[in-house]
Chain A
Amino acid sequence: MTLFRNKLALFGTVLIGFLVVIALLAPLLAPYDPSEIDLSSRLTGPSREHLLGTDQLGRDVFSRMLYGARISLSVGFVAVGISVLIGIFLGSIAGYFGGRLDTLIMRFVDVMLCFPTLFLILAIIAILGPNIFNVMVVIGITSWMGVARFIRAEILSLKEQEFILAARAIGASPFRIIVRHLIPNGITPVLVSATLGIAGAILTESVLSFLGIGVQPPRVSWGSILIEGKSVLDVAWWLMLFPGLAILVTVLAYNLLGEGLRDLLDPRLRDQI
């Protein structure tokens, strides 16, 4: 595993693993019910009973953060899953079939890249209504362009090679050639793009929650805890500080892993590591 000789990438991977485990075990680890209201202990700072303090309704911030990790991390995975699927689908048919279809799809990519992504996301969310499902889908359908370009470029360079010619000679269908031969061989740059995409999706979710059109109560994400803290920042700094730090650390971890993968997979840099 040469990847882990890159210490930063190793650090990122360990951190992501740790966060995923925490999110999965949230019900076991959380000392309180995340939506349990306790008006007698509102806005208390970090203490032994409440590790990260409590919010306006006396809910335990630590427990909410644990449950928030589930939403924030899954937004990243699901949104990027959607964008990778769309990107691979459009990119591979554009690359394999070429011609007018290719031109059409790549023009579509160019057009999508012209839109300030947040403008597009805001418009769609405001129309479809704010909920966690829409957030994931919208982030997915506005971020597939990079993947499509990468996979198309890979397929363009792979499809003239002999193993593809061989597959075609024995009568394999285009579908089979694309799915069984081309995509597995061209997937590596998509991995980098997807890893960085997860980081971007987690950030976008927090922005949408901040603008009030992301995750809606009683669901909780790091972004939504953060925004509840905005109005009481004067008296309760912990409400804003911890979720922000959690987002920062998570996004950083994905970026370090993504950059490590990129360095590893870039043949020009490979011998340098």
Chain B
Amino acid sequence: MKRYLLKQLLARIPLLIGITLISFMVIHLAPGKPTQLQTEMNPKVSYEAIQRLEKLYGLDQPLYVQYWRWLSRLVRFDFGISFQDNRLVLDKIVERIPITLFLSFLSLIIVFLVALPIGVISAVRHNSLLDKTLTVLVFIGFAAPGFWVALLLMQLFSVKLGWLPVSGIRSFGTEHFSLMEQVVDVGKHVVLPVFVATSGSLAGISRYMRGSMLNVIRQDYIRTARAKGLPEGLVIYKHALRNALLPIVTILGLSLPGLLGGAVISETIFGIPGLGRLFFEGVMARDYPLVMGGLVMGAVLTLLGNLLADVAYGLVDPRIRILGEERPAG
């Protein structure tokens, strides 16, 4: 197990470097310079002033120097200073992470609670009417554009019916409320964003569960369990389900990038001050340090997510936990 952990950790170092390289390349595709954004607005800015700005941001240096400087600051968690308000990028990002992670994990939990049973039922009743109905339903959830559903639901529940707040994560002046009231207040704010995120992700996970379950049901040990006369329920829920759940653990880690991407949309629509909205605002303002910081942080969070998933996999799979063997491919 120790060797497995170490291997997982080491394998991610080149990925981390790759992430920084690609982020850096992406930002420097830009034809314009960020200094133009600040100077175009103001015709009085002199040529010297622009040069001073470029010097400040190190934009006059060759690319590899810029990358090296940026990378060496990065390892000290220094993402630079935001072009927009001169605050530290790290501060701006870190203060937004909890909300986004909270919403992402809440959505993730609900997705799994709903999608796994759907997948199991679909597999056990393979090609039945129930299987087909569920399939079509989860695909409708996937096919409906999230922002469209979000806006329609917001119009219905927040504007027309007035049951739910229109935007934000909590109401103004609720700091002195009791804990219960605060929970209800936050709950009312997040129910729509979480619903939108959940409905879009059900299809992927439930189909994966269905596939995994179908795969397991065809194995010899399931035939053996049936042959020795075990009741079908026991075969499915004890023998098959436990094995089919194994690969699902890794999907947990793979779901994070989709959720973070989805956060851009839901946070923008529902006015939630999270990482997604911060990133989008940074992109629109060409705030290079912020965009680079956001891109790197998004990828690093994903990397951490699937590191955790792989570790969890190691813990639940006896082949790794006890024997320390590599996880079987697939």
Contacts and interface: CB of A to CB of B under 8 A. Distances in A.
A173 to B, nearest CB: 30
A119 B261 contact: yes
B143 A199 contact: yes
Interface string A106-120: 011011111111111
Interface stretch (A24-32, A34-42, A240-248): A240-248
A268 B216 CA distance: 11
Contact of A122 (B18, B152, B279, B300): B279
A123 B140 CA distance: 29
B299 A240 contact: no
B151 interface: yes
B29 interface: yes
B303 interface: yes
Given A111-B15, A207-B265, A126 B286 contact: yes
B139 A268 contact: no
Interface stretch (B19-27, B74-82, B177-185): B19-27
Interface string A240-273: 1100100111111001100100000000110011
A115 B15 contact: no
Interface in A179-210: 199, 203, 206-207, 210
A252 B148 contact: no
Contacts of B283: 122-123, 126
A259 B122 CA distance: 14
Given A123-B283, A268-B218, A252 B139 contact: yes
Given A112-B22, A115-B22, A247 B145 contact: yes
B223 to A, nearest CB: 15
Contact of A119 (B146, B151, B284, B298): B298
B30 interface: yes
A115 B144 CA distance: 23
B138 to A, nearest CB: 10
Given A123-B26, A230-B151, A272-B127, A248 B284 contact: no
B22 to A, nearest CB: 6
B55 interface: no
A127 B29 CA distance: 7
Contacts of A210: 145, 147, 265
A119 B260 contact: yes
B18 A211 contact: no
Interface residues of B, number: 57
B193 interface: no
B139 A107 contact: no
A128 B257 contact: no
Does more than half of chain A's interface fall in helix, strand or loop, or is it mixed?
Answer: helix
Contacts of A120: 26, 295
A115 B298 contact: yes
Q: Which of A107, A116, A259 has the most CB of B within 10 A?
A: A116
Contacts of A233: 151, 155
Nearest to B21: A111
B136 A114 contact: no
A226 B146 CA distance: 12
Interface string B121-133: 0000011000010
A252 B140 contact: yes
Nearest to B149: A244
Nearest to B17: A111
B120 to A, nearest CB: 17
A271 to B, nearest CB: 11
A119 B295 contact: yes
B148 A118 contact: no
A7 B318 CA distance: 41
A19 interface: no
Interface in B217-270: 218, 254, 256-258, 260-262, 264-265, 268
Contacts of B215: 268
B142 interface: yes
B14 interface: yes
B294 interface: yes
Interface of A: 8, 107-108, 110-120, 122-124, 126-128, 199, 203, 206-207, 210-211, 223, 226, 230, 233-234, 240-241, 244, 247-252, 255-256, 259, 268-269, 272-273
The 10 closest A-B pairs by CB, nearest first: A118-B261, A111-B18, A251-B143, A244-B148, A116-B260, A252-B143, A116-B257, A126-B283, A114-B299, A116-B261
6 contacts: A110-B15, A114-B299, A128-B29, A207-B147, A226-B148, A268-B218
